A and B are shown apart, each in its own frame.
Chain A
Amino acid sequence: MIILCCSNIIFFLSLDQIIIGDQVEIARVIKEEVKKELRKSLEEAQLYMHTVAGPKLALVIDGKCLMYALDPSLRVTLLSLSLNCTSVVCCRVSPLQKAQVTSLVRKGAKKITLSIGDGANDVSMIQAAHVGIGISGMEGMQAVMASDFAIAQFRFLTDLLLVHGRWSYLRICKVVMYFFYKNLTFTLTQFWFTFRTGFSGQRFYDDWFQSLYNVFFTALPVIVLGLFEKDVSASLSKRYPELYREGIRNSFFKWRVVAVWATSAVYQSLVCYLFVTTSSFGAINSSGKIFGLWDVSTLVFTCLVIAVNVRILLMSNSITRWHYITVGGSILAWLVFAFVYCGITTPRDRNENVYFVIYVLMSTFYFYFALLLVPIVSLLGDFIFQGVERWFFPYDYQIVQEIHRHESDASKADHLEIENELTPQEARSYAISQLPRELSKHTGFAFDSPGYESFFASQLGVYAPQKAWDVARRASMRSRPTVPKKK
């Protein structure tokens, strides 16, 4: 049956006929019924889908009907009908059916699915989806143990998705792109060098410089980027949920983005290599002396470390003091290491001849001139690109940043804070909530508890009183409330 409700259309699929007869025959007949209903609903739905400003469609289906609708022959029809609807409500379903519906959407629609539940009956559903979220609390910890993420209250889901999920996507994209970029730049400078060594495979940099590049000299800033990067604040993320679309569309990790980073790496490696090798030909200070291979390569390495580390500051949307500490610290660590490493002679010599190289370099004016020129020219390309991109092809989060650029950090409002002072109403609510709760784990369904109504009400800003029968029931429970033991 189809019922029209305002401008939305709700499809109801339930079995309310009684058929007497042979079990197999009954099953077959029911299946035919269901198939007919599904087909009819699907045609109706597709009719509405073709009109652009059509009504929103909803599907309500109960467990008994679902049992037949999930049959392999009808599954596809059910799926296409569901995908045409804005929302689907399956009621009175068993845990197995929950898992089956989730798998149906996961495999059939090929989209990323998320399931959230709080009871033991939700475990299979949680595991069937891509992302499973368990709510810890009333119904026990089974859902939490089976889930990928556990939250304490249902309302934390908005934060999980819109704030932390979004930030996590942004951070992962940036960290991965930066890692490839910095190693590509570093390796390409060596690659350009091979053309001038007769392709003999002579390394450009000293062994230890090369090995510690990824360990000490460029490791920490990207970790700080991955921890603290935020494009917009948490409250703005929730205010503009459409920003979530950037993750759905994968806008930060498309091939186009990868190509831009790769081009930047090629350009920077060319600048670092060519500028230094061309300008260090001939005498480099007033004493007329000449640089050797290790002098040139150490200078290129220094310029590279500086350029690659400062790049982090260019790509961060929010720069904390840890960014400054790690970027400056990494460059400083490189210099300190170079001072120590070039200042010692080991008994079995490294045969690499970087003895005293950094001191020789630093005794020339040329070193400082090159150090100012090369990193700035390397980063100029990225700077120009970012300036142009932000102005003519801005991302959504950049517009949001600009809209709210004058607002200071109202960080307190971001939190799901619990106030310290209680109004008399709240004090009463708190007292009621301290009454002994339903301890049975078989209360049935996730939202069939007295608390949820007041949760929805509070979301709307409306006060919903506690249900009298629930308060009375709890006050009369024989078992004593569990009082936390005082030390």
Chain B
Amino acid sequence: MPSNTASSSSAPAGSSKSKRPKYSKFTQQELPACKPILTPGWVILTFLVISVIFIPLGVVSLFASQDVVEIVDRYDNDCVPTPARTNKVAYIQGGSDKSCNRTLVVPKKMKQPIYVYYQLENFYQNHRRYVKSRSDSQLRSVKDENQIDACKPEDDVNGRPIVPCGLIAWSLFNDTYALSKNNQPLTVNKRGIAWKSDREHKFGKNVFPKNFQEGNITGGGRLDANKSLSEQEDLIVWMRTAALPTFRKLYGKIESDLEKGDTIHVTLLNNYNTYSFDGKKKLVLSTTSWLGGKNDFLGIAYLTVGGICFFLALVFTIMYLVKPRRLGDPTYLSWNRVPGGGR
């Protein structure tokens, strides 16, 4: 193509002085590229692949979840004696004996370890001022004992710093459960219930509780001042604040099997005040599978999505057969369809 017009800025590459910038695929936007076109074949193939992968995964997850046996028992209403039910808050704040007896029946054989949880509802551990009311540096080492700024109002008692400070520690859950089967007490192992990283790195081995729950208002449980924080696993579990207002926390584990039909007697101390804010308390016994506790959501989600994809693959196949469009049909170009028109 004769391009040697009378313009000065182009010159054949043979001359020594060319003003052309150095050619590179990157700057000239000529990188080799994959140009995917979403043809019906690809769409249907993708749906089939997704359904082929997801349906087995869903089945596996659902089986894992269905294998889990769970007993849930709500006790906060029933454990308040009938005469006190008109003013539960006064009852719970009073000094009467709070012990309560509950009976649970095991619906299916439960293999050890069986985990004991307490479930709270309508308890906002994710409230902003609650979440920030702690001092991690204080929890970790003794020398940072006085880092209590974020902990207000539970930061000090008459000028002496509280260890551990903050609302989270102050509101420690303090119901206790004593379980027995056929009049034989079931030992509940309360060690190893917190995450190892918390136990070993977040809570110091030589930090001991000081001035705890000595203020005017008692928010929850007390702590043994002779045990270091890294051994106070209830506190560690409680301080890993939950994401949602309905949550469970691990209380302990039972290391023996429970047979179907067994009757479990629970002697619990109904100390914790959830009545001021209409919260609920539940005791949960549950086994676990490799995927966790009884939560069908993952299995159902996988199965549903796999099923939907399979159904969509069929629908799209039918759609493409009923309303076919030849790939690259020029009659679909807007200037060929409507004179001067198009989208």
Q: Mark A372-383, 1 if CB is under 8 A from B, else 0.
A: 110011001001
Q: How far is the CB of A115 from chain B (nearest CB, A)?
A: 20
A residues 447-475 touching B (CB-CB < 8 Å): 449-452, 454-455, 458, 463
B286 at the binding interface (Cβ < 8 Å): yes
* Nearest residue, chain B, Cβ from A430: B4
Most buried by A among B4, B38, B125: B4
Segment with Cβ contacts to B, from A5-13, A181-189, A258-266, A284-292: A284-292
Q: Is the CB of A290 within 8 A of B5?
A: no
A165 at the binding interface (Cβ < 8 Å): no
A residues 195-213 touching B (CB-CB < 8 Å): 196-198, 200-203
Q: Is the CB of B243 within 8 A of A292?
A: yes
Q: Is the CB of A288 within 8 A of B115?
A: yes
A441 at the binding interface (Cβ < 8 Å): no
Q: Is the CB of A355 within 8 A of B32?
A: no
Q: Mark A391-419, 1 if CB is under 8 A from B, else 0.
A: 11111101111111100010100111011
* Nearest residue, chain B, Cβ from A297: B243
A380 vs B137: C-alpha distance when bound (angstroms)? 44
A186 vs B294: C-alpha distance when bound (angstroms)? 29
A415 vs B241: C-alpha distance when bound (angstroms)? 62
Segment with Cβ contacts to A, from B74-82, B92-100, B102-110, B295-303: B295-303
Residues of B within 8 A of A396 (CB): 333-335, 342
Q: Is the CB of B292 within 8 A of A283?
A: yes
The chain A residues found within 8 Å of chain B, CB to CB, are 136-138, 152-153, 196-198, 200-203, 227-228, 230, 242, 245, 249, 251, 275, 277-293, 295-297, 317-322, 345, 347-349, 351, 353, 355-356, 359-360, 364-366, 369-370, 372-373, 376-377, 380, 383-384, 386-387, 390-396, 398-405, 409, 411, 414-416, 418-420, 422, 425-426, 429-430, 433, 437, 449-452, 454-455, 458, 463, 484, 486
The chain B residues found within 8 Å of chain A, CB to CB, are 1-14, 16-17, 28-38, 40, 43, 46, 50, 54, 57, 61, 113, 115, 117, 124-129, 131-132, 134-137, 140, 150, 193-195, 197-198, 201-202, 237, 240-250, 253, 286, 288-295, 297-298, 301-302, 305, 309, 312, 316, 319-320, 323, 325, 327-330, 332-335, 342-343
A291 vs B286: C-alpha distance when bound (angstroms)? 16
Q: How far is the CB of A322 from chain B (nearest CB, A)?
A: 7
Q: Which of B3, B201, B293, B319 contacts A284 (CB 8 A)?
A: B293
A349 vs B117: C-alpha distance when bound (angstroms)? 30
A372 vs B302: C-alpha distance when bound (angstroms)? 10
Q: Is the CB of B131 within 8 A of A293?
A: yes
Q: Is the CB of B150 within 8 A of A197?
A: no
Given A282-B248, A293-B243, A377-B305, 14 other A-B contacts at CB below 8 A?
Answer: A152-B10, A203-B128, A280-B243, A288-B253, A292-B243, A319-B33, A349-B137, A351-B150, A369-B57, A372-B57, A373-B302, A380-B305, A422-B14, A486-B16
Q: Is the CB of A291 within 8 A of B243?
A: yes
Q: Is the CB of B13 within 8 A of A420?
A: yes
Q: Is the CB of B10 within 8 A of A288?
A: no
Q: Which of A280, A293, A347 contacts B137 (CB 8 A)?
A: A347
A322 vs B54: C-alpha distance when bound (angstroms)? 30
* Nearest residue, chain B, Cβ from A470: B6
Report the 3 A-B pairs with minimum CB-CB distance, sorted nearest first: A451-B6, A283-B293, A402-B328
Residues of A within 8 A of B35 (CB): 317-319, 401, 405
* Nearest residue, chain A, Cβ from B312: A384
Q: Is the CB of A353 within 8 A of B294?
A: no
Q: How far is the CB of A93 from chain B (nearest CB, A)?
A: 24
Q: How far is the CB of B241 from chain A (nearest CB, A)?
A: 5
With A283-B288, A286-B290, A418-B13 given, is the CB distance from A200 to B127 under 8 Å?
yes
Q: Is the CB of A287 within 8 A of B288?
A: yes
Q: Is the CB of A152 within 8 A of B201?
A: no
A355 vs B316: C-alpha distance when bound (angstroms)? 47
Q: Is the CB of B2 within 8 A of A429?
A: yes
With A356-B201, A360-B195, A426-B4 given, is the CB distance from A288 to B243 under 8 Å?
no
Residues of B within 8 A of A372 (CB): 57
* Nearest residue, chain B, Cβ from A317: B35
Q: Is the CB of A449 within 8 A of B131?
A: no
Residues of A within 8 A of B8 (CB): 137-138, 437
* Nearest residue, chain A, Cβ from B324: A391
Most buried by A among B8, B11, B135: B8
* Nearest residue, chain A, Cβ from B334: A396
Q: How far is the CB of A3 from chain B (nearest CB, A)?
A: 28
* Nearest residue, chain B, Cβ from A151: B9
* Nearest residue, chain B, Cβ from A374: B301
With A369-B57, A373-B305, A411-B30 given, is the CB distance from A290 to B247 under 8 Å?
yes
Q: How far is the CB of B303 from chain A (nearest CB, A)?
A: 11
Q: How far is the CB of A86 from chain B (nearest CB, A)?
A: 14
Residues of A within 8 A of B3 (CB): 416, 418-419, 458
With A198-B127, A293-B241, A391-B320 given, is the CB distance from A245 to B9 under 8 Å?
no
With A138-B7, A152-B7, A319-B36 given, is the CB distance from A282 to B12 under 8 Å?
no
Q: Is the CB of B297 within 8 A of A279?
A: yes
Most buried by B among A230, A317, A349, A420: A349
Q: Which of A153, A365, A411, A416 contacts B291 (CB 8 A)?
A: A365
Q: How far is the CB of B188 from chain A (nearest CB, A)?
A: 13
A396 vs B134: C-alpha distance when bound (angstroms)? 60
Q: Which of B16, B244, B291, B327 contacts A281 (CB 8 A)?
A: B244
Residues of B within 8 A of A349 (CB): 136-137, 140
Q: Is the CB of B33 within 8 A of A153?
A: no
Residues of B within 8 A of A420 (CB): 12-14
* Nearest residue, chain A, Cβ from B116: A288
Q: Is the CB of A484 within 8 A of B17?
A: yes
* Nearest residue, chain A, Cβ from B340: A245
A283 vs B323: C-alpha distance when bound (angstroms)? 49
A153 vs B7: C-alpha distance when bound (angstroms)? 8
With A293-B131, A318-B34 given, is the CB distance from A153 to B9 under 8 Å?
yes
Q: Is the CB of A401 within 8 A of B37?
A: yes
Residues of A within 8 A of B140 (CB): 345, 349
Q: Which of A227, A288, A295, A347 contacts B29 (CB 8 A)?
A: A227
Q: How far is the CB of B257 from chain A (nearest CB, A)?
A: 16
Q: Which of B10, B125, B319, B343 contacts A393 (CB 8 A)?
A: B343
Residues of A within 8 A of B245 (CB): 196, 198
Q: How far is the CB of A369 from chain B (nearest CB, A)?
A: 6
A228 vs B29: C-alpha distance when bound (angstroms)? 6
Q: How far is the CB of A405 from chain B (nearest CB, A)?
A: 6
Q: How far is the CB of B54 from chain A (nearest CB, A)?
A: 8
Q: Is the CB of A433 within 8 A of B242?
A: no
Residues of A within 8 A of B124 (CB): 197-198, 200
Q: Which of A373, A484, A486 contacts B301 (CB 8 A)?
A: A373
Q: Is the CB of B297 within 8 A of A278?
A: yes
Q: Is the CB of B5 within 8 A of A153?
A: yes
